[in-house]
């Protein structure tokens, strides 16, 4: 999966710090949902974030959004990035057009 998000310009360091200290329950929820090989990249010129992750089952991964742990993480991240009314990050899912193993 590939996704685009946005972090506020003065929050780059805080965004990285928070992800380096990902809530243990959130880490566990991601792994339980089959997420792996997960990376987030920052364009420091724009604040745009590119997330890449592999999931075993997209529906199972998407179900994380209903969990209390995920909602707690979203509330924690909401002050430093673009979010929706439910505090989820504004995310643009990307369509894969090329893959090389």
Question: Please, where are the H alpha helices in the chain?
Answer: 12-20, 24-32, 58-62, 68-77
Cα–Cα nearest to 5, from 54, 58, 59, 43:
43
Residues marked active site are found at 19
Cα–Cα nearest to 89, from 30, 7, 1, 2:
7
Quote the radius of gyration of the chain (alpha carbons, Å): 13
């Amino acid at each position: 999966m590939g996704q685009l998000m946005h972090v506020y310009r003065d929050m780059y360091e805080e965004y990285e710090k928070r992800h380096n200290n990902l809530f243990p329950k959130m880490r566990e929820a991601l792994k339980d949902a089959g997420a792996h090989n997960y990376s987030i990249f920052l364009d420091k010129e724009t604040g745009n974030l590119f997330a890449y992750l592999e999931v075993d089952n997209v529906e199972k991964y998407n179900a994380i959004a209903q969990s209390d742990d995920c909602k707690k993480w979203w509330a924690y991240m909401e002050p430093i990035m673009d979010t929706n009314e439910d505090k989820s990050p504004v995310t643009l899912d990307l369509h894969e057009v090329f893959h090389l193993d």
